[in-house]
Structure 1
Amino acid sequence: MELQQLRYVVAIAETANFTRAAERCLVVQSALSHQVARLERELGARLFDRTSRRVRLTPAGEAFLPAARQCLDAAERAAAEVAAAIGEVRGRLAVGLIPTVTAADVPATLREFHERFPQVRISLRVGASDDLIEQVRDGTLDVAFLGLPTTARPTGVAVHELARGHLIAVVAPDHELAGAATVSLRRLASEVFVDLPAGTAGRAQSDEAFAAAGLAREVAYEVTSADYIARLVGPGLGVAMLPSGYAPQLTGVATIDITDAPGRVEYVIWAAASPTPAATEFVTLLGIHPRRDGQAG
């Protein structure tokens, strides 16, 4: 079994097409097909079902794919560690973040990192805090930026608190509350809400605050993007609560301070044990000393 064969399997699984996989791997399709067939003979099982219309993983392929990815990640990590030993930073830097992170200028930090370490392959994905924590735990991501209620803290990862803040109310410009200096949770509870999906860390910040106050509210619209929350609030379909630091980016809505506002903490997290050289350098660029400042949660 060779690493190149594993790369071919991953490329086919991700593209669902032998031709596109060969293009991605910079190899002719016949050579890719030959190597995959050779691997299948060695394993004694077919990894892909092939038809004229599509390619999909067999049950054996589904079982093989995660291990193949882990092997490739381990090989890349080994090469990165050797490079670090001779003073070079290579490999990959996979970063995750929530859309409303404001405690760090992630684009600027990524730009500076790329200028310092051009040989590192950078990727970025946006997601929910809970998903990002899990992806750092399993090694899919190297670093992630989160926003959590004050009652929660990431576990199984190295954690550094970036900032504490609170939520504010967001209403349509012609809403009767627009222009008010402050509003209470009790008053907001009578409104229809736009919020993040139930069960997410972002939604928990609001849910826990209303529950602690003994209040119930109606969430009629659930969306995954903070930008889209504002787009629904603007026409008056509902009200919302979003991080105060995110407010300057909002347009077409009015914002109001909440007297008993829910608290919120922004964190950056990375692998608790043996972060990659690239992750270590990236966290250092944030002014954090990974081994001194990062406390495992």
Structure 2
Amino acid sequence: MTALPSSTDQLLNRLRMRQVALMLAIDEFRTLHAAAQHLGMTQPAASKMLHELEEALGEPLFTRVGRGLALNMAGQAVLTTFRGLRNSMASLKRELHQLSLGSSGKLLIGAIDVATPTHLSAAMLALKEAYPLLSIELHVGTSDRLIELLRDGQLDIVIGRMPEPTSRANQDCVFTPIGEEAVSVIAAYDHPLAQAPRKKRLEFQALLDYPWILQLRGSPLREIIEQEFRSRHTAMPPGLVETSSFLTITDLVAHSRMIAVIPESMASRFARHNLLRILPYTFTHSLTSWGSLVHRDRHINTVMRRFLDLMHGTPD
């Protein structure tokens, strides 16, 4: 006896890629008329196609606003899924193209600085050992920017922090924590504050006697520094140098009397080689967990799964 098709199978049989393209075009061009023109359709044909899509889904997707249409909550949910489908198709196209060239494909990774000297390097080396012909493209940046690239389909995986993981707007990404990171105050090896007995904890006030280098506003590290100042009812120091480059931060600190705050794992590497000193001050606040981020609606291929397993320490 032949099994009856499920409701999902029935929906897949009724959906057309042209309907997906129309919804995405409406989102991009904001009006049905402009979207229809972009796709080379008449507006009546586009209206009919949307009506057929609503019938297939069993839900109205728009509310009428004047002479135009506005997505309702069901329409927003459909659009989010269709965006994920577009990104999956882009990923599939890249993979098929690479396979046609005799390659194992290409993996597009985004990562924050804290992950690069530890887990990420080891995972990339192990992945290359398993897939010698695999091409890897690594983008290093801030979590918010990398997540934008992930949503746009320009990255396969992000190793970073998820801002407001419980926010409804962020439910399109799946975050799996990997580790936590303490922070350290750093100074030049011969900095006056570094000459005090190492076991003696510095007072916060002592840090205010020197110029500061901070990351740009909006970064998690900048936020915990500002929280530290707020909790002590102290204004941010004047004459700040602000940059998102850890390389610039450490170089400026090494050649001046400036101080800065960077992740402990990075600070420890510089301190081991006597390039910088970690000052004996403990921050009240700490960075949120960092981990892997993938798009909820995107296909995870074999290479991506292997990379995620390596990052999370999953055995073969």
**Normalising by the residue count of structure 2, what TM-score does the alignment of the two structures yield?**
0.58
1:98–1:145 contact (8 Å) kept in structure 2: yes
Cα deviation for residue 269 of structure 1 reads 1.6
1:96 aligns with 2:110: yes
* Residue equivalent to 2:250: 230
Secondary structure of 1:274 counterpart: coil
1:193–1:221 contact (8 Å) kept in structure 2: yes
Cα deviation for residue 112 of structure 1 reads 1.5
Q: Which structure carries more helix by proportion?
A: 2
List runs of 5+ in structure 2 lacking aligned partners.
1-38, 41-84
2:94–2:106 contact (8 Å) kept in structure 1: no
1:279 aligns with 2:295: no
Task: Provide closer, same or farther for how the CA distance between residues 136 and 168 of structure 1 changes in structure 2, counting only shifts above 3 A.
Answer: same
2:187–2:257 contact (8 Å) kept in structure 1: no
Cα deviation for residue 165 of structure 1 reads 2.7
Task: Provide closer, same or farther for how the CA distance between residues 280 and 187 of structure 1 changes in structure 2, counting only shifts above 3 A.
Answer: same
List runs of 5+ in structure 1 lacking aligned partners.
1-41, 44-69, 290-297
1:185–1:261 contact (8 Å) kept in structure 2: no
CA distance in 2, matches of 1:231, 1:147: 25
1:90–1:120 contact (8 Å) kept in structure 2: yes
Cα deviation for residue 239 of structure 1 reads 0.7
Q: CA RMSD in A?
A: 3.5
* Residue equivalent to 1:262: 285
Secondary structure of 2:181 counterpart: strand
Give 2:186's match in structure 1, choosing from 170, 182, 206. 170
CA distance in 2, matches of 1:75, 1:157: 17
Alignment length, in residue pairs? 217
Cα deviation for residue 255 of structure 1 reads 0.8
* Amino acid in structure 1 at the alignment position of 2:249: I
Secondary structure of 1:257 counterpart: coil
CA distance in 2, matches of 1:78, 1:90: 13
Task: Provide closer, same or farther for how the CA distance between residues 285 and 240 of structure 1 changes in structure 2, counting only shifts above 3 A.
Answer: same
2:184–2:261 contact (8 Å) kept in structure 1: yes
Cα deviation for residue 208 of structure 1 reads 2.4
Secondary structure of 1:216 counterpart: coil
2:191–2:257 contact (8 Å) kept in structure 1: no
Greater C-alpha radius of gyration? 2
* Residue equivalent to 2:177: 161
Give 2:151's match in structure 1, choosing from 116, 125, 137. 137
**Normalising by the residue count of structure 1, what TM-score does the alignment of the two structures yield?**
0.61
* Residue equivalent to 1:187: 206
* Residue equivalent to 1:7: none
2:90–2:153 contact (8 Å) kept in structure 1: no
1:229–1:240 contact (8 Å) kept in structure 2: yes
Cα deviation for residue 153 of structure 1 reads 4.4
1:184–1:260 contact (8 Å) kept in structure 2: no
Task: Map 1:1-297; keep pairs closer than 5 Å.
Answer: 74-77=89-92, 80=95, 90-101=104-115, 104-146=118-160, 153=165, 155=170, 156-180=172-196, 181=198, 182-218=201-237, 220-250=240-270, 251-264=274-287, 265-277=289-301, 278-287=303-312
CA distance in 2, matches of 1:107, 1:196: 24
2:183–2:263 contact (8 Å) kept in structure 1: yes
Cα deviation for residue 75 of structure 1 reads 5.0
- The one-character-per-residue Cα deviations of 1:208-243 (angstroms, maximum 9, x if unpaired) are 222233222225211221121111112224110111
Task: Provide closer, same or farther for how the CA distance between residues 111 and 282 of structure 1 changes in structure 2, counting only shifts above 3 A.
Answer: same
